[in-house]
């Protein structure tokens, strides 16, 4: 039976209905899922009460998984393939490292020389309301630019930095950001990437970008701001309202996403992510 797909928004995304990820998936059904992933940029599977092992096994169908050496503090203690995105305090009562993960527009691991091709995020506990995630279609955003702008940006590389500087201004947040920076030197990534499977061009930017390579930050900032604002216009965006036991897989090569802080932070929000490895991209630069 062909997959039952329901579009999530005009811009991107589809829900895969009538699939139970606990049941074995044939190669041909997985092939349809993979094609839908390429076609829609993100896929949603609802009501998937699967274990961590099953989450990891399903993720491996998409490709080899990252062990999260670039983000060691946020790894699950027993499963290096799982990255925690949680506001659950540590056992000693201190705040979680990952409570602000993703609170800016980004594509996963863009600040490393092997950016992720895709991520699979599973929600375990979600707040009563809010804690939504936004996703933007960077292929549409690129295609909506004028030819002149497309030509202007095509040779540019942008320098991506790790760490969530904008939000995490506490002392412990600064220490963590410093560790992140030591582990992950600045990387220049192409501003326009060609998707290795679909061949389509997509913008590759976000709010971890500081400046264009060989240009100063003040020279770069207006164009970076313009492109990020353009790419995240509502017509290019899907806003996901989580339910417990959702799984979303997104294509990091042609989408970006952002976690919203639109919820009561005394309530729990706990998600876990696997990260499918991509292909090498960009180059290390000497200074940010």
The torsion of the CA quartet 239, 241, 246, 247, rounded to 10 degrees, works out to 20
Structure token pair of residue 179: 């560790």
Residue 251 binds to Mn ion (criterion: CB under 5 A): no
Which does residue 209 touch among ligand OGA, Mn ion, none (CB within 5 to 8 A, set by kind)? none
Nearer to ligand OGA, 156 or 249 (CB): 249
From the candidates 211, 240, 257, 269, give the one annotated as an active-site residue: 257
Task: Point out which residues pair with 84 in neighbouring strands.
Answer: 272
- Per CB under 5 A, the list member of 74, 81, 108, 272 interacting with Mn ion is 108
Could you tell me where the beta strands, DSSP code E, fall in 89-186?
118-125, 133-137, 157-160
Least distance CB 119 / ligand OGA (angstroms): 5
Residue 103 annotated as catalytic = no
Structure token pair of residue 24: 């074995």
Residue 132 annotated as catalytic = no
Residue 237 binds to ligand OGA (criterion: CB under 6 A): no
Distance CA 285, CA 211 (A): 12
Q: Which residues of 176-197 are buried (b: 16+ CB within 10 A; e: fewer)?
A: bbebbbebbbbbbbbbbbebee
Q: Which residue is nearest to ligand OGA (CB)?
A: 102
Distance of CA 54 to the CA centre of its chain: 21
Which is it for strands 157-160 and 133-137: parallel, antiparallel or unpaired?
Answer: unpaired
Residue 102 binds to Mn ion (criterion: CB under 5 A): yes
Residue 117 binds to ligand OGA (criterion: CB under 6 A): no
Residue 108 annotated as catalytic = yes
Nearer to ligand OGA, 61 or 103 (CB): 103
Least distance CB 262 / ligand OGA (angstroms): 10
Residue 60 annotated as catalytic = no
- Per CB under 6 A, the list member of 102, 173, 186, 206 interacting with ligand OGA is 102
Quick one: 26 exposed, middle or buried, by C-beta within 10 A (0-12, 13-18, 19+)?
exposed
Q: For residue 277, what are the contacts with CB-CB under 8 A and spacing of at least 6?
A: 63, 64, 65, 66, 114, 116, 117
242 to 261, contacts with ligand OGA by CB under 6 A?
Answer: 257, 259
Residue 119 binds to ligand OGA (criterion: CB under 6 A): yes
Residue 85 binds to ligand OGA (criterion: CB under 6 A): yes
Residue 272 binds to Mn ion (criterion: CB under 5 A): no
Residues near ligand OGA, by CB under 6 A: 85, 101-102, 108, 119, 121, 133, 257, 259, 271, 273
Site residues (vs Mn ion, CB under 5 A): 102, 108
Q: Which residues are catalytic?
A: 106, 108, 257, 273
């Amino acid at each position: 039976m062909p997959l039952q797909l329901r579009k999530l928004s005009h811009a991107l995304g589809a829900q895969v209905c009538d699939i139970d990820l606990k049941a074995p998936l044939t190669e041909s059904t997985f092939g349809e899922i993979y094609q839908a992933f390429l076609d829609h940029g993100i896929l949603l599977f609802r009501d998937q009460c699967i274990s961590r092992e099953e989450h990891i096994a399903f993720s491996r169908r998409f490709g080899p998984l990252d062990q999260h050496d670039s983000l060691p503090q946020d790894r699950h203690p027993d499963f290096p393939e799982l990255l925690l995105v949680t506001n659950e305090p540590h056992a000693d009562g201190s705040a979680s490292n990952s409570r602000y993960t993703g609170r800016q527009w980004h594509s996963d691991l863009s600040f490393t020389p092997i950016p992720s091709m895709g991520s699979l995020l599973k929600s375990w506990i979600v707040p009563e309301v809010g804690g939504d995630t936004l996703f933007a279609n960077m292929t549409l955003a690129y295609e909506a630019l004028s030819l002149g702008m497309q030509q202007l940006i095509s040779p540019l590389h942008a320098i991506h930095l790790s760490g969530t500087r904008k939000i995490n201004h506490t002392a412990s947040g600064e220490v963590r950001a410093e560790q992140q920076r030591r582990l992950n030197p600045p990387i220049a990534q192409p501003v326009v990437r060609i998707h290795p499977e679909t061949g389509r061009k997509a913008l590759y930017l976000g709010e971890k970008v500081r400046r264009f390579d060989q240009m100063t930050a003040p020279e770069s900032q207006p164009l970076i701001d313009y492109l990020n604002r353009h790419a995240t216009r509502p017509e290019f965006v899907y806003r996901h309202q989580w339910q417990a036991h959702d799984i979303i897989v997104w294509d990091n090569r042609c989408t970006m996403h952002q976690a919203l802080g639109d919820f009561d932070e005394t309530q729990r929000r706990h998600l876990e992510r696997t990260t499918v490895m991509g292909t090498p991209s960009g180059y290390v630069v000497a200074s940010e």
